[in-house]
Chain A
Amino acid sequence: MGLLAAEENHILMPHTSELVFGLIAFAIILFAFWTKILPRVTTTLDERADAIEGGIERAKAAEAEARETLQQYQAQLAEIRAERNAEIEKAKQQGAAIIAEMREQAQVEARKIVENAHAQIEAERQQAVARLRVEIGTLSTELAERIVGEALSDDAAQSRVIDRFLDELESQDRAGSQAEAR
């Protein structure tokens, strides 16, 4: 071997053709990567990242929505429960009021009935007394007449008269009480 320049097939001497063709090959590959291949790869990767992120965000949104709905439901439930409690309370009060009123009415009525009954009894008693008075008068008059009319000689006759009188009186009294009951 000799000097670098003098040697034709020296291992360190670059060949002109390989220099040029290497440059061309590099340029072709670089051009293809730059304009065609890598944009596709990056767009796909970006899309995938978007898809994954979108999925996560959708899941988050759904979770938030679910939580919100749950809260709404719980609020509604609490509201309904409170309302129901209020209703029950009101109903209880109303029931108590109604019962009190009814009792009042019943008492008033009972009292009225009792009063009526008292008044009637009184009236009937008065009537009875009055009629009794009249009747006793007539009876005693009649009895006196009879006693007087029978000539008071006979004891037996007397007692017979008295018995008959009492029988009459009894029957009269029964008829009278029946008539009165009617």
Chain B
Amino acid sequence: MEILGNLNVIGYGLAAIGPGIGVGIVFGLGNQAIARQPELRGPLQLNIYLGMALVEALAILGFVLAFALPYTSS
């Protein structure tokens, strides 16, 4: 059986697993923190988006590399 396609996309998919979990943790714990101390909503939200941006960097690098690296189809 022949499988066609870009192997880089699989690489990107693997690279997105970690950041996906990370972003989930960031937002989950962020919401928990807001639920515990609603008066700190502003700074917490800021930190949530900051953490999301930092965690997301890895997935973005994977995305770039998926396009940037040369590939050979089978």
B64 at the interface (CB under 8 A from A): yes
Interface string of B53-74 (1 = CB under 8 A from A): 0000000000010011011000
CA distance A2 to B69 in the complex (A): 8
A148 at the interface (CB under 8 A from B): no
* Total A residues in contact with B, Cβ cutoff 8 Å: 7
Given A1, A10, A12, which contacts B71 in the complex, CB threshold below 8 Å? Answer: A1
CA distance A4 to B70 in the complex (A): 8
| Chain A proximity of B24: nearest CB distance (Å) | 28
Taking chain A's interface residues, is the majority helix, strand, or loop, or is none over half, making it mixed?
A: loop
> Considering the complex, which residues of chain B in the window 10-50 have a beta carbon less than 8 Å from any beta carbon of chain A?
none
CA distance A2 to B72 in the complex (A): 9
CA distance A3 to B71 in the complex (A): 9
Contacts of B68 in A (CB 8 A): 4, 12
* Total B residues in contact with A, Cβ cutoff 8 Å: 5
| Chain B proximity of A6: nearest CB distance (Å) | 9
Taking chain B's interface residues, is the majority helix, strand, or loop, or is none over half, making it mixed?
A: helix
Whether A11 and B67, one on each chain, are in contact in the complex, defined by CB atoms closer than 8 angstroms, is yes
CA distance A11 to B64 in the complex (A): 10
Contacts of B70 in A (CB 8 A): 1-3
Contacts of A2 in B (CB 8 A): 70
CA distance A11 to B67 in the complex (A): 8
Contacts of B71 in A (CB 8 A): 1
Contacts of B64 in A (CB 8 A): 12
CA distance A11 to B70 in the complex (A): 13
B70's nearest neighbour on chain A, judged by CB, is A3
| Chain A proximity of B41: nearest CB distance (Å) | 24
| Chain A proximity of B18: nearest CB distance (Å) | 22
A10's nearest neighbour on chain B, judged by CB, is B67
> Considering the complex, which residues of chain A in the window 1-42 have a beta carbon less than 8 Å from any beta carbon of chain B?
1-4, 10-12
Contacts of B67 in A (CB 8 A): 10-12
CA distance A2 to B68 in the complex (A): 9
B8's nearest neighbour on chain A, judged by CB, is A1
A11's nearest neighbour on chain B, judged by CB, is B67
CA distance A3 to B67 in the complex (A): 10
10 contacts across the A-B interface (CB closer than 8 A): A1-B70, A1-B71, A2-B70, A3-B70, A4-B68, A10-B67, A11-B67, A12-B64, A12-B67, A12-B68
Other A-B contacts than A1-B71, A10-B67, A12-B64, 7 sampled, CB-CB below 8 A, are A1-B70, A2-B70, A3-B70, A4-B68, A11-B67, A12-B67, A12-B68
